[in-house]
Structure formats: structure tokens, C-alpha cells
Structure 1
Amino acid sequence: MKRVQAGETSLFTLLVNKYHERLMRFALSKLQVETDAEDVVQEAFLAAYHSRQSYSPEFEFSTWIWTITLNLTRNFRKKESQERTRQVEYVVRTNSTIESDTRPEQFLLDREQSAQITVWLDQLPEPQSDAVRLRFFGELSYEEIALAMDCSLSGAKRRVKLGLIKLSEIAASQ
């Protein structure tokens, strides 16, 4: 990112390639619609690029882009809930098509389980839901979660732990 700030803007593509997939998995887990998730991730990269001169090298680029993405997904959901209510199509986080070696019934079961997990995550308080999504969909470490969510390391661990406990309680009650 320092080199991008110094004028080698073509290098920003390397950062996009490095973080795009993980950011998409996180955004898709939160927004549930692939086009919305893609829009938010693209907006996050655009925001980072346009604000490149304000980036502080004392922080990791990953922390910066995760924080931007987290805030944009939260803003998107708030905006969507205020503007309209709509039917949501759940998408399997890695691929919505049947792989050649996957039996159709297994594909449907995986898709149903993914949809159920999303419903359960939406029942958690947002900080816990976001922490669980960052940990398991974004594959962030606890340190990265703490930085992205602007909380302590123990706070990040606690949010994930409480989220998982509540998820297990929700699952057991159904």
C-alpha cells in the first residue's frame, strides 16, 4: 500500500486479488445476495483506493480493508431494511451450482444448512454475528477481528464465543 500511495497505483490490483475472495465470503454471509455482496466489496476497494493517501502504514492494510467492508455491510443492511422488505435467496457461500462429483440431494442439503445458519446468525446481536462471520467466513484471526471491530483481543474472542454459544442454543431449540 505504501507503493500505491507513492504512485504505483497499478499495484492496487494485487491487493484486490489477495483479499477479494475472503471479503466476498464475509459480505455474502451477511447480505445473502451475491450481487449485493459484490457491490459492497467493490465499494470497499473503491473507498480504499480513493482514500489511499489517508492510509496510515502503522496499521496493516488488511485491518483497514476489513474495517471498511464491515462498516459498508452494516450500512447496506440498515439502508435495505429502511427502504424495503424483500424475499432473500440464500446462496451456498462457495458455489451455487452443483459440482460434478456432488449428488443433487447433498447439494440441496448443503444449501438448506447454509440458509439455516444464515437465519440463525441474523438472530444474534450484530457484534456477535459479525465476529462469528469474520472468524468463519472471512477466516480472520482474533487479532484481525479485534482490529476490524475496534475492540480488544479478549473482546473479539468473547464476541465469537458468545455468538457460538447462542447459535448452539438456537439450534438446540429448533
Structure 2
Amino acid sequence: MVATFRRKNGDCPKPSRAAIDSQSIKSVPFVSQDKGVDSSKLINGRKRHIAVDKHGLPIALAITAADVHDSKAGAELLWQMEGNERLELFCLDKAYRGEFLDALNLYGWRGEIAKKPDSTTTDGNIRTARITSNAILIANQHCPLFFRTVDSIDYKKAMLVFYEQNNITAFRRIFIDQFEFAVKTYF
């Protein structure tokens, strides 16, 4: 199917580059296979590792427990692509350093780690967004909101509850607490 799609779009049937990433997914009660907690995303379940071509079409897939590090599990994708003599380059994030890059070298392939933007630029954009949103609130005689005092764990829990259960109760509590803090502090 992938080869057919690529041909129809004027590409060779086999790609010369691939992007690899993973996604941790919450497990469901009826899955009894390997499970674990992805400590960076606080998800208890499994992890999908996927290699895609430039169209986003899958060319390799592996499923592991969520606690298996990307640099180890990513190697499970490589043997699935052994027959592709055109492959040269893999685009990766920093989680695929170490063992995965060593495995790539064994196949004669290269890995390119994507670089995140300079943190000063990102921080500057966040500050600008906060100032702009608060300027609009103040201009309309509303209290500005600052979320500096929100506990990061509470915020993450609120995000999980919102995305997993479509429930805004925890976010509502954070918003009200921050509004009350702003009123006491700035007015």
C-alpha cells in the first residue's frame, strides 16, 4: 500500500529518509501485555514507536511497554527496514541518542537529531503571549491572570483529566485560584 501510494505521487516505492518517533498511550483494562509508566509523560501503559516516510505513511512499527526508553525500542524498527537499500537518513528527536544511533551505524544509516529552538526565543514568545493576553484583559477592565504560582504537578494532572476524561473541573479550580491570587496581589 505504501509503495503504491508513493508511486502514484511520483516517488520511488521505497523512501530514502524516514522520521522516527514514539507516542505513549494509556492502557485499557483488557490489555495484559507489557505495560509500564513513561516517566517523562506520566502515562501508564504502552508506547508506539513508528517510522514514517515524507508523506507520514508508516514503514515500520513496534509496540513496547511505556517505560522502555526510545533509544532501546527504536532499534526494533530497524530490522523491519533492512531490505530498503535506498534508506540513508533518519530524522529523530534527542530521545534516540545512544544505543539507537549505534544500531543505525551498524546498518550504515545516519541519524539526524532535531534541534529545539533556543530557549531564550521560546521564553520570549511565552512572555510576549502573556503580556498581550493580560493587556487585553486590563484594557477591558478585567483582572490580569498570572499562572506562576500554579504547581506544575497540579497543572499536569488537570491536563490529563481534561484530555482523558473531557473534564474541566481541575482547570476551573486552577483558574479561580489564580484569579483570586491576582485580585489580592494586584488590586
State the TM-score bracket (shorter-chain normalisation).
Answer: under 0.3
**Which structure dedicates a bigger proportion of its chain to helix?**
1
Instruction: Look at both structures and tell me which one has the larger radius of gyration over its CA atoms.
Output: 2
The TM-score normalised by the length of structure 1 is 0.27
Greater RCO (CA < 8 Å, at least 6 residues apart): 1
**Which structure dedicates a bigger proportion of its chain to strand?**
2
